[in-house]
Amino acid sequence: MIDTEILIIGGGAAGLTAAIELSQDRKVSVISKEKIVDSSTWYAQGGIAAVMGEKDSIEEHISDTLEVGDGICNKKAVSHCVKNSKAAIDWLIEMGVNFTKTKDGEKLHLTQEGGHSKRRVAHSKDTTGKEVSNSLIQKARKIKNISIHENHLAVDLIVQNEICLGAYIFDKEKEEVVTFKSDATILASGGASKVYLYTSNPDGTSGDGMALAWRAGCELSNMEFNQFHPTCLYHPEAKSFLISEALRGEGAFLLNHENERFMKKYHKKNELAPRDVVARSIDEEMKKTGKDFVYLDISHKPKRMVLKSFPAIYEKCLTFGFDITKDKIPIVPAAHYTCGGIKTGLSGETNINKLYAIGETACTGLHGANRMASNSLLECIVFAKSAASHIKKNFCFNGKKLKNWDSSKVIKSGENVLISHNWDETRRLMWDYVGVVRSSDRLLKAKEKIKVIEQEVESFYKNFELNSDFIELRNLVLVARIIIESSILRKESRGLHYNIDFPGKLKKGKPSTISRKTVKAV
């Protein structure tokens, strides 16, 4: 058993920010399921939205976020996040993050992305997430009060009388479950985009935090809103490599196979329309033409500008035979971001005492029905700092005695075919039945199919020893079911959720809330 004051499950921007803030007074244990760099933060390209331009304002950033969120944003969460955006950037600079600056070196260079009315996205070339991740990791490793446990995966939270007392954590190297006792626990484990067959996310985004929270009795909100990034590289070996929205912000065109700029048919902002609109437009163009992809083209821009602004994307595309300064880039939408998650307050607090959730695994209501570009890393920093502040003010020690994990009644599995088969079947099911465009019939079929898979998985869980692949599968299947059930509840089309049987929008938008105890229809 490991006794720690603060247990943080997840080592991306949100988890590390909270760890650094809390380490001033408390001993912190950070759990990372892979190496600490293997988070969605590290893969983020675009940047971090904040009000810093002379012609910009907090009111405009709030207004843009609310518009993209399509009527169900939590206005208090939006206001809190945007008002603290400049402070978040300043703190990251203090942590060593090297943002790209203007030619004179006096100010941060700001780009514009979809949904934003102004240039307000601070970035580090086209590898902002990598820069943020590396800076925070370096800082955290130097702090004595922070212990980083890599290759550890949470199995379940330990909850008594609706109070979280710690978690059971699987040590992947020793292949054993360790009990972590804590005085406060933070879920910062990222999203659930790996539930889909095609995703821009790293392999670890299997919805672990959401599944842990669900089993512990937490409420989840807006799980039907899955953002599909419109532009991921289409290539059999590319694993849906993300092509940053910043390309469209700098003037890249979307073209169909007739070389036509088709976005003008769908939205007044053309290529800079909100992501849900762009993804559905691409989906419709693909269905009209019967093609598996469309094109993104920035070759009409000066080569020098392209190479300076997008060096990593240029090099990556070149390895697959595409020179973006000359060639059109074949692209396709892919699952990118989970707008819903564990329902929290403005300080990351859940309905379970001493349990917090921050970052993509949480749902503060900031994103509503659709996330505006580059608000996600901002959310990680702002709400992690808010959660840390709340924990400091309300900290009290956990005097409870905990039982260690009991694996005496299970046997070792001799084969993993169930894991690989159900992993693949779940992701294909979600892609085909619960994707960019949905229907009531497909959703109901998906619900029946996922029930069968979940029953098989739970039977395996009760009878066989754990391994890391199975722990992820168990979480993935549960989150898939929650997404399906949340999608069935919403009898309208709003934001990222588009149902052809309910194409209209209700007069008053409401967030969805679902838990093991309660299901609230929308």
Catalytic sites, residue numbers: 275
Number of Cβ within 10 Å of residue 303's Cβ equals 13
Rounded distance between C-alpha atoms, residue 199 and residue 364, angstroms:
23
| β 362-363/355-357 pair status | unpaired
Q: How far apart are the first and last CA of the chain?
A: 43
Rounded distance between C-alpha atoms, residue 134 and residue 41, angstroms:
10
For the chain, count helices (H), then strands (E). 15, 21
Cβ neighbours of residue 3 closer than 8 Å, sequence gap 6 or more: 181
49-83: string of b/e by CB count within 10 Å (b at 16+)? bbbbeeebeeebbbebbbbbbbbbbbeebbbbbbe
Rounded distance between C-alpha atoms, residue 219 and residue 357, angstroms:
11
Residue 15, classed as helix, strand or coil, is helix
Strand ordering across the sheet containing 6-9: 146-149, 28-31, 6-9, 184-187, 355-357
Rounded distance between C-alpha atoms, residue 33 and residue 9, angstroms:
9
Number of Cβ within 10 Å of residue 485's Cβ equals 18
Please provide the DSSP assignment of 80-148 as one string: HHHHTHHHHHHHHHHTT----B-TTSSSB-EE--TT-SS--EE-STT-HHHHHHHHHHHHHHT-TTEEE
Between the CA of residue 284 and those of 252, 289, 311, 370, what are the distances in Å?
20, 9, 31, 19
Closest Cα partner for 244 from 252, 234, 235?
252
Number of Cβ within 10 Å of residue 415's Cβ equals 8
Rounded distance between C-alpha atoms, residue 184 and residue 348, angstroms:
12
Phi, psi at residue 492, to the nearest 5°?
-165, 175
Residue 401, classed as helix, strand or coil, is coil
Rounded distance between C-alpha atoms, residue 335 and residue 428, angstroms:
12
Q: How many residues does the chain have?
A: 522
Rounded distance between C-alpha atoms, residue 182 and residue 167, angstroms:
8
Residue 164, classed as helix, strand or coil, is strand
* Single-letter residue type at 397: F
Rounded distance between C-alpha atoms, residue 142 and residue 7, angstroms:
18
Rounded distance between C-alpha atoms, residue 339 and residue 349, angstroms:
17
